[in-house]
Amino acid sequence: MSSKHILSVAPMMERTDRHCRYFLRLLSPNSWLYTEMITASALVDGRRLHLLKFHPDEHPVALQLGGSEPEKLSRAALLGAVAGYDEINLNVGCPSERVQSGCFGAALMSEPEKVADCVSAMIEAVEIPITVKTRLGIDDLDSYEFLHRFVGSISDAGCRTVVIHARKAILSGLSPKKNRQVPPLDYERVHRLKSDFSSLEIILNGGLDSEEKAVMQLDFVDGVMLGRQAYQNPCLLGELDSKLFGCTSMLTREHAFRCFLPYIREELNRGTPLKVMTRHLLGLYAGRPGGRAWRRFLGELPGGEEGFAALQRFDPPSV
């Protein structure tokens, strides 16, 4: 099966906003990008449609929604489709308390029928694919049989692509950050799922922090999704993109920085604060000579025109 999602960048709140995605796209022409989670309520009740804004260069880009009411999710999915997104992804993996109190995110795993209802309502509403991002399980609902039933039920509802963060979520007593570190990763469970659901596109996520680890997983699943590493070291994403798609024209770090400047200029003209964009550049020289000076330079950058002029004058390390 040839996968559309061989390489993806994970949805990350306060990270993968539209500025970040534009920048990552410069380094990675072929990956699928995901928005931060946006709640269906923010779009449908709050009419906060500005949250849907994205740049045409971001394609392919998926909107991630949070929610648990089929009707509201289907209306939010329609808003996303009309805005031009390539896919709508339902978050069934976030363990934060705020999300649990709205009873969605990872907590929804305990209600597979409800998730299936949400998926079918969204599929009814739009023509673009509806996908689900989830975990191996939650709390003591952590057997392989539970996961198998869960995936079977969303598959029966019509979902064809499932992203699995390869660890379970612990819903009480563990912060979202710890929930990305403490529960152990179990890639084999995701491989087993792929062999049991061979017609589904199964994407593996969690702990992929090197090119080798990511490439190795593609022997077992249809695609890999990188979160923290793609953000903290965006050039790893670029290298992986070149390796997987055979593209030799990966931008150098310096060139990617230069290509981002016209975008920053345009956004400044629209009133976007400079730091909102430059904060996503902090990892550009991760692990490279000059990385510390680069971060210091960005940290001390003044706002507005003065900061932009300093950016234009800056000679970034050429590695």
Helices 234-245/18-27 angle, 10° precision: 50
The SS3 of residue 66 is: strand
Choose which of 39, 205, 233, 278 interacts with ligand FMN (CB under 6 A): 205
Structure tokens at 271: 């009133």
The question of whether 118 is a catalytic residue gets the answer no
Q: What string of DSSP letters covers 82-146?
A: HHT-SEEEEEE----HHHHHTT-GGGGGG-HHHHHHHHHHHHHH-SS-EEEEEES-BTTB-SHHH
Residues 228-267 within binding reach of ligand FMN (CB under 6 A): 228-229
Least separation, in Å, of the C-beta of 230 and ligand FMN? 7
Phi, psi of 74 (to 5 degrees): -70, -35
Least separation, in Å, of the C-beta of 10 and ligand FMN? 3
Query: Could you tell me if 165 and 93 are in contact, meaning their C-beta atoms sit under 8 angstroms apart?
Result: yes
Which one, 37 or 125, has the nearer CB to ligand FMN?
37
37 scored as a contact of ligand FMN (CB under 6 A): yes
Structure tokens at 195: 């062999």
Query: Could you tell me if 85 and 78 are in contact, meaning their C-beta atoms sit under 8 angstroms apart?
Result: no
Residues 110-169 within binding reach of ligand FMN (CB under 6 A): 133, 165
Which one, 120 or 205, has the nearer CB to ligand FMN?
205
Query: Could you tell me if 56 and 96 are in contact, meaning their C-beta atoms sit under 8 angstroms apart?
Result: no
Residue 317: count of CB within 10 angstroms of its CB: 15
Choose which of 180, 243, 288, 295 interacts with ligand FMN (CB under 6 A): 180
The helix (H) or strand (E) run that includes residue 219 is none
Which of these segments, 142-150, 220-228, 268-276, 282-290, binds ligand FMN (CB under 6 A)? 220-228
Choose which of 10, 76, 81, 88 interacts with ligand FMN (CB under 6 A): 10
Report the phi/psi class of residue 35: left, alpha or beta, with left for phi > 0 and alpha for psi in -120 to 50: beta
207 scored as a contact of ligand FMN (CB under 6 A): yes
Choose which of 80, 112, 227, 238 interacts with ligand FMN (CB under 6 A): 227
Fill in the per-residue mask, 81 to 120: x = in contact with ligand FMN (CB under 6 A), - = not in contact: ----------x-xx--------------------------
Which one, 5 or 133, has the nearer CB to ligand FMN?
133
Q: To which residue do tokens 């002029």 refer?
A: 309
Least separation, in Å, of the C-beta of 294 and ligand FMN? 21
Counting residues that bind ligand FMN (by CB under 6 A) gives 23
> How far is the CA of 24 from the CAs of 167, 184, 249, 285, 314, in angstroms?
26, 28, 15, 14, 21
Which one, 52 or 226, has the nearer CB to ligand FMN?
226
The whole-angstrom separation of Cα 31 and Cα 245 is: 10
Cα 213 from chain centroid (whole Å): 18
The whole-angstrom separation of Cα 208 and Cα 10 is: 11
Which one, 68 or 229, has the nearer CB to ligand FMN?
229
Least separation, in Å, of the C-beta of 176 and ligand FMN? 7
204 scored as a contact of ligand FMN (CB under 6 A): no
Residue nearest to ligand FMN as judged by C-beta position? 227
Q: Of 5, 4, 27, whose CA–CA distance to 250 is shortest?
A: 27
| Residues near ligand FMN, by CB under 6 A | 10-15, 36-37, 64, 91, 93-94, 133, 165, 180, 205-208, 226-229
Active-site annotation, residues: 94
